[in-house]
Amino acid sequence: MVTLGCARNEVDSEELAGRLAAGGWELSEDTEGADVVLVNTCGFIEQAKKDSVDTILQATDSGAKVVATGCMAERYGKELAEAMPEADAVLGFDHYPDISDRLLAVLSGEKLPSHVPSDRRKLLPISPVDRAAATAFVPGHTQDLPAGVAPASGPRVLRKRLEGGPVAPLKIASGCDRRCAFCAIPSFRGAFTSRRPAELLTEARWLAEQGVRELVLVSENSTSYGKDLGDPALLAKLLPELAAIEGIVRVRASYLQPAELRPELVEVICNTPGVAAYLDLSFQHASEPLLRRMRRFGSRERFLELLATARAMAPELGARTNVIVGFPGETRDDVRELERFLNEARLDAVGVFAYSDEEGTEGANLRPKVKPDTITRRQDKLSRLVEELSAQRAEERIGTHVDVLVESIDEGAASGRGEHQAPEVDGEVAVDLAGHQVQVGDLVRAKVTGSLGVDLTAELVEVISPAERVAR
């Protein structure tokens, strides 16, 4: 199994792995000797789609049957199958419940018809509160795994971990109801729908039993969590419950939408033990006129006020965002406003993305277009700026203490993430152990002694929570 794209896709792959294990399949470490290579594709932006195509083509060299699934397969379906005859099948989300039988059919030489893509937002009721009773399939939102693969009583976890380590994503919701002019995700991921708290708590306990110490909550828009369950403030209530699970030392919320960030949620994130004081905020830009063109809300002033409010409660708060340059109609004044915001915001990490038209989005039809070479220039300039600013923010942490979840150990040094650093996307901390014994999964306190870019170096102060206390 090959997984491309975001942490949400990683969870989907683990659901597929759970279903396949229940069907008698064995996961191979590599393509050699494999009967089938299952590629979980990404269809978010042009580069991600290219990477997916390249991966499918590379998989055909193995001699195994190659099956494409995931977001790109869902988004393009039959069109992708016709464009890539090298793939033996292209399967959408609705194929997931029967994935074992589908792969057996492919293995036997049967040619499966590819699904015809449709707008998945139409599969669920328009009113969020009516969605809980809907029967449309949503990846990661069912618990029908046969007994024996997960807990024998109560809700069963439809998941098999594909990677070890003390950190794991937990999908709290799928889909999105927002209509950002640059984003096609809602059309193939569907309308927003939350997973119920009891289901999430069951899966979180199961992950803790697998040795997971940090839960990273993922979705397309975490701040919408609970609105379809009748409680828009539900995430603020769920976070402390997850943090109280035995073995879990840190819970991190991600994919937060600034326009929906409620004050009580900010307070819980900043003040609750075991919840990371960390804001992963999807700002996308800081020029108010351009944000309106993007069908988003906010401004430089409002975003800075939000950060200031959170830092008043948690001075060492971690904060990251993504921004887009080159959206149709973006002017030099818009870019200057974005630069001004980035200079004032003191963010730990920033992803700078170049806008590209995505079919089916409002932005694809907007004019005037920004010239490609201008977009590249702006992206390069902002990337250099945020690299410098993020390094400065890391330097500000020298002399402070950070709590590091140890993810690897090598020659007397431990590597892991501080509370202000999310896995994969932010920096890391290298901790000099000075002869002390620690193990992967330990939560340690360390004093920051230096920085290199967004990465920190530190010296061990104490072990706060050793992993062996909760070993299963």
Q: Binding-site residues for [4Fe-4S] cluster, please?
A: 6, 42, 71, 176, 180, 183
Pairing of strands 250-253, 278-284: unpaired
Which residues of 219-269 form beta strands (DSSP E)?
Answer: 250-253
439-469 burial: b if 16+ Cβ within 10 Å, else e: ebbbbbbbebeebeebbbbbebeebebbbee
Greatest alpha-carbon span in the chain: 63
Q: Vertex 244, ends 238 and 245: CA angle to 5°?
A: 100
Pairing of strands 413-417, 173-174: unpaired
Strand order across the 2-3 sheet:
2-3, 36-41, 65-70, 89-90
Which amino acid does the sequence have at 210? Q
Q: How many C-beta atoms surround the C-beta of residue 260 within 10 A? A: 16
The encoded tokens of residue 9 equal 């896709």
Contact 160, 14 (CB under 8 A): yes
* Cα distance between residue 38 and residue 13, in whole Å: 9
Pairing of strands 250-253, 2-3: unpaired
**Cα distance from N-terminal residue to C-terminal residue, the chain:** 27
Rg of the chain, C-alpha, whole Å: 22
Binding residues: 6, 42, 71, 176, 180, 183
Contact 340, 300 (CB under 8 A): yes
* Cα distance between residue 144 and residue 142, in whole Å: 6
Instruction: Give the burial class of 409: count Cβ atoms within 10 A of its Cβ; 0-12 exposed, 13-18 middle, 19 or more buried.
Output: middle
Contact 393, 344 (CB under 8 A): no
Which helix (H) or strand (E) is 456 found in, with range?
strand 455-465
- C-alpha distances out from residue 427 to 62, 311, 381, 391, Å: 35, 20, 21, 10
Q: Vertex 316, ends 312 and 319: CA angle to 5°?
A: 90
* Cα distance between residue 405 and residue 161, in whole Å: 19
- C-alpha distances out from residue 81 to 74, 85, 100, 118, 419, Å: 11, 6, 20, 16, 43
| Counts of helices then strands in the chain (DSSP H, E) | 13, 17
